């Protein structure tokens, strides 16, 4: 059974963590609870499989239970899926308090592990190789956090007032390029829009074809009402965030055009 380390916060409750192969892992159910995400199974489906693990833990009444734990990159992906205003503060708490407490000089070296390294130098080589990989993953995760902050700064309520269809098109295309499948990109966008806001684009397209003489399928974005454009931008941004796609250039370009017009 893995050794579980518990972190408590007045704002976010309890988060169970453990170290698996020298990598910090976070209990997915605890993270979702802290972020007011109710569909844990749906969240898990959106995560990278190689960063998800199951571990045996002891619950509050002493029973052995299996719990899902996620690594740091998947933690950020989960945070990106939250619409809770305090999600940014949760990120700050994890990066400033939780992770530094887990790591010891960049590696979680218990007395038992130190003894194993002394007895088996090959184990030390293996662990330090993993440490190098973990640091590279951490640097990438920190870069993702920086991108998230940049996007949050740009995507203020004031900025969303100029949301339009060309911007949404650019964001969805960036997502499609990032996953190397433009058609799937648009399918994911429509699916996520339905999941987040109940906006059923496919149903609208079907109704349009049934109620008009035209046999030509309308464009996806033409099926959006102007009042729904802000939600569509937020959805497209969330998709890009989940795949760690840098869209700051797209947003900055839009902001610059807005300033030129003003």
Q: Would you write out the chain's pLDDT as a tens digit for each of its 262 residues?
A: 567 888 888 889 999 988 887 788 999 999 999 999 988 988 999 898 889 999 887 766 667 788 999 998 899 889 888 888 888 889 888 887 788 777 654 444 445 555 666 677 776 676 667 667 766 766 766 666 666 665 665 555 555 566 789 999 999 999 999 999 999 999 999 999 999 999 999 999 999 998 888 788 999 999 999 999 989 998 998 898 888 888 878 877 776 765 565 5
Which residues, in sequence order, are bridge partners of residue 246?
A: none
Q: How far apart are CA 256 and CA 207, in angstroms?
A: 38
d(CA 57, CA 64): 6
- Residue position matching structure tokens 């203020």: 156
What tokens were used for 19? Answer: 């170290």
CA-to-CA distance for 214 and 94, rounded, in angstroms? 54
Tokens of 201: 């684009």
| Conformation bin of residue 198: beta by default, left when phi > 0, alpha when psi is -120 to 50 | left
Angle between helices 229-242 and 121-154 (to 10 degrees): 170
25 close to 53: Cβ distance less than 8 angstroms: yes
Other CB atoms within 10 A of residue 73 CB: 18
Could you give phi then psi for residue 52, rounded to 5 degrees? -120, 135
């Amino acid at each position: 059974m893995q050794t579980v380390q518990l972190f408590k916060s007045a704002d976010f409750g309890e988060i169970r963590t453990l170290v698996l192969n020298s990598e910090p892992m976070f209990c997915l159910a605890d993270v979702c609870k802290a972020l007011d995400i109710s569909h844990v199974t749906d969240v898990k489906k959106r995560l990278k499989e190689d960063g998800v693990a199951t571990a045996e833990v002891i619950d509050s009444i002493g029973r052995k239970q299996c719990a899902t734990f996620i690594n740091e990159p998947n933690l950020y992906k989960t945070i990106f899926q939250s619409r809770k205003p305090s999600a940014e503060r949760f990120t700050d708490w994890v990066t400033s308090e939780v992770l530094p407490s887990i790591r010891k000089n960049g590696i979680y070296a218990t007395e038992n592990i130190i003894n194993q390294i002394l007895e088996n130098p090959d184990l030390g080589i293996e662990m330090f190789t993993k440490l190098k990989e973990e640091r590279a993953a951490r640097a990438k995760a920190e870069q993702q956090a920086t991108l998230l902050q940049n996007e949050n700064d740009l995507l203020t309520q004031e900025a969303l007032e100029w949301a339009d269809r060309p911007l949404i098109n650019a964001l969805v295309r960036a997502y499609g390029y990032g996953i190397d499948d433009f058609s799937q990109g648009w399918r994911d966008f429509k699916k996520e829009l339905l999941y987040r806001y109940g906006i059923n684009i496919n149903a609208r397209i079907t109704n349009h074809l049934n109620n008009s003489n035209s046999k030509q399928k309308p464009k996806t974005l033409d099926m959006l009402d102007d009042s729904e454009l802000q939600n569509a931008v937020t959805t497209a941004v969330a998709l890009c965030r989940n795949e760690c796609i840098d869209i700051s250039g797209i947003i900055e370009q839009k902001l610059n055009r807005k300033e030129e017009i003003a």
